[in-house]
Amino acid sequence: MKIAVVGSGYVGLVAGACLAENGNEVVCVDKDPAKIRLLQRGKIPIYEPGLEELVRRNRSEKRLTFTTALERGVRNAQIIFIAVGTPTGEDGSADLQHVLAVARDTARAMNVYKVIVNKSTVPVGTAAKVRDVVRRETTHPFSVVSNPEFLKQGAAIEDFMKPDRVVIGAEDPRGAELMKELYAPFTRTGAPIMLMDCASAELCKYAANAMLATRISFMNEVANVCESVGADVDQVRRAVAADRRIGPSFLFPGIGYGGSCFPKDVKAMLRFAAEKSYKFAILDAVEAVNDRQKLRLLTKLQTQFGSLKGKQIALWGLAFKPRTDDMREAPSVPLIQGLLAGGASVHAYDPEAMKVARSLFGSKISYADNSYTALTGADALVIVTEWNEFREPDFARMRKLLRNPIIFDGRNLYNPEQIRAHGFTYISIGRP
């Protein structure tokens, strides 16, 4: 099929590359000319494992092209995906200006029947708004479909190629049938294609992210209680996770969730529930707990040192999670701000997010070439992101480099007994 994907960020680029990989002819559109120039030269503006190779292959086989010219992209395509950002607006709601602008421009460019698919995460009622915008701008027939994306950054290709499910919200059979055809190759392993109305499809994505955020905040609260009563959250988690009604996913305590989705989607769901006079009390708490948890390590550092003034802190990990360079809403950000406000200096290392960190913090912090150089002369090491390379480091080398052998571990990477046997003071989350 001929497809246009408007918005070439994490979702649009992955969707475009994966759709091309299955034989479709895809044009990725973005309004950012620098991004498109980069993509046309075969370079990838983000870090996502496997994406560069996928883009390169499909580009060279001429199934994947890039342009800033939305009109041309739309005219040649049967299906147009909207995959632009829906950031948090001033009042906490999802800002739909980019989605509606693309809907309007798409409508103006239409020449024959098209399926307009909303892949961005949008509140209930957006499909109806898109339909209204398009109807105002064109007399050509069209279908509007809601197709929320569930991929995880860091495993985005795998998630898109082998989804747990594909959700398609459609109000007419023509659009639904084309979407089922498009997704058939991605669901050969038996994953269901779930057809439903647009409102339910739109809500699915928020409900799923809200549930995952709730599990994280819940377990972070359990970890904090463990610290108060002298229990070990590792043991508690294992026992809880063994219950088949609960299962093991998303039960690891840490220093809060971040990224471009959970914080924004929790806020948006709270907001659109409130607009219908519904107070989503659990989500209110999930958000408050997460904000507090992001500062948990800072509090522990203050307790340990009294004052942070003049302390040199080594930081391992800046991205909001491993296998991405994304620092949107990352716990590292308020932590660094708190350390700097307390008078500490920060020497940071992340395998992928250094460039992004430089754009955020400039010369306010310093950047290490590798994980070990970050430690030289530091008063403590703080672990923020659970990159694999931090899991089995050379502890003897670390001890030599650090001024004080203290580790604050926000991701519970090490066995407390073993690391203490290496001569470290070790402070983690929810464990004695």
Ligand X SMILES: NC(=O)c1ccc[n+]([C@@H]2O[C@H](COP(=O)([O-])OP(=O)(O)OC[C@H]3O[C@@H](n4cnc5c(N)ncnc54)[C@H](O)[C@@H]3O)[C@@H](O)[C@H]2O)c1
Name the residues annotated as catalytic.
261
Q: Verify binding: residue 54, ligand X, rule CB under 6 A.
A: no
Binding mask 105-144 for ligand X (x = CB under 6 A): ---------------xx-----------------------
Identify which of residues 25 and 30 has a Cβ nearer to ligand X in the complex: 30
**DSSP 8-state class, residue 369:** S
User: Scanning the structure block, which residue is given the tokens 């959700």?
Assistant: 167
Distances in Å between the alpha carbon of 192 and those of 144, 176, 421? 21, 14, 50
**Phi, psi of 167, deg, nearest 5:** -100, 125
Length in residues, the chain: 432
* Residue sitting closest to ligand X (CB): 9
Q: Verify binding: residue 12, ligand X, rule CB under 6 A.
A: yes
Q: Please, which of residues 13-42 interact with ligand X by CB under 6 A?
A: 29-32, 35
Question: In whole angstroms, what is the distance from residue 9 CA to residue 17 CA?
Answer: 12
Contacts of 90 (CB under 8 A, 6+ apart): none
Q: Which stretch binds ligand X (CB under 6 A): 148-156, 249-257, 274-282, 391-399?
A: 148-156
Contact residue for ligand X among 86, 106, 147, 332 (CB under 6 A): 86
- How many CB atoms are located within 10 Å of the residue 4 CB? 27
Q: Please, which of residues 253-282 interact with ligand X by CB under 6 A?
A: 260-261
Q: Which stretch binds ligand X (CB under 6 A): 5-13, 242-250, 331-339, 410-418?
A: 5-13
Nearest approach, Cβ of residue 323 and ligand X (Å):
12
Question: In whole angstroms, what is the distance from residue 385 CA to residue 351 CA?
Answer: 10
Binding mask 209-248 for ligand X (x = CB under 6 A): ----------------------------------------
Identify which of residues 158 and 177 has a Cβ nearer to ligand X in the complex: 158
Angle at 144 between CA 34 and CA 169, to 5 degrees: 105
Identify which of residues 155 and 222 has a Cβ nearer to ligand X in the complex: 155
Question: In whole angstroms, what is the distance from residue 46 CA to residue 202 CA?
Answer: 26
Identify which of residues 167 and 236 has a Cβ nearer to ligand X in the complex: 167
Q: Verify binding: residue 47, ligand X, rule CB under 6 A.
A: no
Identify which of residues 156 and 233 has a Cβ nearer to ligand X in the complex: 156
Question: In whole angstroms, what is the distance from residue 137 CA to residue 182 CA?
Answer: 27
Q: Verify binding: residue 167, ligand X, rule CB under 6 A.
A: no
Q: Verify binding: residue 319, ligand X, rule CB under 6 A.
A: no
Identify which of residues 29 and 157 has a Cβ nearer to ligand X in the complex: 29
Q: Verify binding: residue 9, ligand X, rule CB under 6 A.
A: yes
Q: Verify binding: residue 163, ligand X, rule CB under 6 A.
A: no
Q: Which stretch binds ligand X (CB under 6 A): 7-15, 336-344, 351-359, 372-380?
A: 7-15
Question: In whole angstroms, what is the distance from residue 160 CA to residue 17 CA?
Answer: 10
- How many CB atoms are located within 10 Å of the residue 99 CB? 26
- How many CB atoms are located within 10 Å of the residue 111 CB? 11
Alpha helices in 7-153 (DSSP H): 10-21, 33-40, 51-60, 70-76, 97-109, 126-137
Question: In whole angstroms, what is the distance from residue 161 CA to residue 341 CA?
Answer: 44
Q: Which residues of this chain interact with ligand X, rule CB under 6 A? A: 6-12, 29-32, 35, 83-86, 98, 101-102, 120-121, 149, 151, 153, 260-261
